[in-house]
Amino acid sequence: MSKIEIKDLYLVFGSAKRQAIKMLKSGRSKKEIHSKTRCTIAVNNANLSINEGEIFVIMGLSGSGKSSLLRCFNMLNVPTSGSLVIDGEDITKMDKDALLNLRRKKVGMVFQHFGLLPHRTILDNVAFGLEIQGLPQEERHNKAKEILNMVGLSGYESSFPHQLSGGMQQRVGIARAIATDSQILLMDEAFSALDPLIRAQMQDELVEIQQSLKKTIIFITHDLDEAIKVGNTIAIMKDGVIVQQGTPEDILLNPADDYVKAFIGNVDMAKIITASAINEPFKARIWQGKDGPASALRLMERHLLKFLPVVDHLGRLIGYVGEKDIRKKIANKENNIDSIVTDIPKVSMDTSITDLLPLFINQKYPLAVVDHKDRPVGYIRHSDVVSMVTGYDDDKVQSIIESAN
């Protein structure tokens, strides 16, 4: 379900906003508009749909408009035109009180440089939003302690921000943002001031927090690896325009233009692309104890396959049967396929391509992809994995592999 819906959103800085938008719509460039009107087009016709409970990442070069757009989500920046609907309500039309309420209760923010109050204890920093909401001291302290425990900072309640490392301070920032039970978290380069090891740890923790609390998180980063690690959806901005949005895999496999290509240029695709990108769904399967060689052969011929998955009475994969073995059984008038079921390595949809490669050693059949109940969902051919890793086209790889066999 979509939690946030942005339609035709423009954000212009400067006084001649109308003129700037008119020029923009008549095709003038951002630069040209700036030199004529002194206005900056920060967001140019953004359209986004953000699902409840997802981590939505916004990426783009410096100055592309990420922070400007993010600040529209709590109306710290007031869009020049367009709508931004949260839970069915257009926040661009809210009055002052409704907006205060939105910021206090619904939309929390985590800043790059933590934004903690230096003379307040960690406990009081986390309880800050609750204090503004008017919660009595005992109640807000209890809640803050609970959240500090959740982000691994129990025991630091009476410390002050400067006594904590950067990673710990950012945990406090996150704790403060989630203490108010806000459903939406805005995170602007929240991890970029942290050193790489702590940063990686914080990324894992964010994903965990999101999974347990089901917040909707809008997360800005410059770092594609980070975007891929935490993001369910990634939107890429250039000069105020959202040039592409999709799942990390969509973006890696089908970059919309050269700008996006340049972004993903130095990512190790093989580590990020998973089995799901090259999975071929099974069109048929046979049931152990029920189907015999003749029906197996019929299915193979119908679906042009040289092997079939065999499943037990619960639909769980046992292995494959191959065409040659099936034909032998038929020739020998044997009716039981049990002795010819070959064991096969099983993988899941999210196994990375690099982890798939070694599994092909000594395998004549494709790998089997199974779901969490061990039921077969598809297969992965060696040639597809090699094409993905080498970048050579599929037919060429297929012929090399076949000639080697």
Ligand X SMILES: Nc1ncnc2c1ncn2[C@@H]1O[C@H](COP(=O)(O)OP(=O)(O)OP(=O)(O)O)[C@@H](O)[C@H]1O
Residues that bind ligand X (CB under 6 A): 13, 40, 42, 60, 62-68
3-state SS assignment for residue 68: helix
Among residues 43 and 178, whose Cβ is nearest to ligand X? 43
Shortest spacing between CB 262 and ligand X, in angstroms: 16
Distance of CA 204 to the CA centre of its chain: 13
Q: Measured from the CB atom, is 73 or 128 closer to ligand X? A: 73
Q: Are 123 and 141 in contact (CB under 8 A)?
A: yes
Closest to ligand X by CB, 60 or 79:
60
Min dist CB 100 to ligand X, Å, is: 21
Torsion of CA 377, 383, 384, 385, to 10 degrees: 90
Residue 67 C-beta: closest distance to ligand X, Å: 3
CB of 36 vs ligand X, minimal distance in Å: 15
Nearest of 178, 176, 247 to residue 214 by alpha carbon: 178
In SS3 terms, 234-298 reads as EEEEECCEEEEEECHHHHHHCCCCHHHHHHHCCCCHHHHCEHHHCCEECCCCEECCCCCHHHHHH
Angular region, 48: left φ>0, alpha ψ -120 to 50, beta rest:
beta
* Number of residues written out for the chain: 405
Strands 307-311 and 317-322 come out as antiparallel
Which DSSP state fits 105? I
Residue 110 beta carbon to ligand X: minimum distance, rounded to whole angstroms: 15
**177 CB-near residues (< 8 Å, 6+ apart):** 108, 109, 110, 129, 185
Neighbours of 149 (CB within 10 A): 13
In the complex, what is the shortest distance from the CB of residue 170 to ligand X, in angstroms, rounded to a whole number?
A: 17
**In the complex, what is the shortest distance from the CB of residue 66 to ligand X, in angstroms, rounded to a whole number?**
4
**Shorter beta-carbon distance to ligand X: residue 41 or 368:** 41
- Compute how many other C-beta atoms are within 10 angstroms of the C-beta atom of residue 30: 20
Residue closer to ligand X (CB basis): 68 or 170 = 68
For ligand X, the closer of residues 239 and 374 by Cβ is 239
Quickly count: other Cβ atoms within 10 Å of residue 322's Cβ.
Answer: 19
Q: Smallest distance from the beta carbon of 64 to ligand X, in angstroms?
A: 4
| Nearer of residues 40 and 247 to ligand X, judged by Cβ | 40
Q: How far is the CB of 191 from ligand X (least distance, A)?
A: 14
Nearer to ligand X, 40 or 81 (CB): 40
Instruction: Indicate the pairing of strand 367-370 with strand 346-347.
Output: parallel
Strand order in the sheet with 346-347: 280-281, 376-380, 367-370, 346-347
169: number of CA atoms within 13 Å, CB side?
Answer: 22
Tell me how far, at minimum, the Cβ of 34 lies from ligand X, in Å. 8
223 or 249: CB nearest ligand X: 223
Phi (first) and psi of residue 42, to 5 degrees:
-90, -40
Residue whose CB is less far from ligand X, 13 or 156: 13
Q: Which is nearer to ligand X, 62 or 405 (CB)?
A: 62
Amino acid identity, position 176:
R
Shortest approach of ligand X to residue 398 CB, angstroms? 43
349: β partners: none
Query: 196 is written with which tokens?
Result: 């790489």
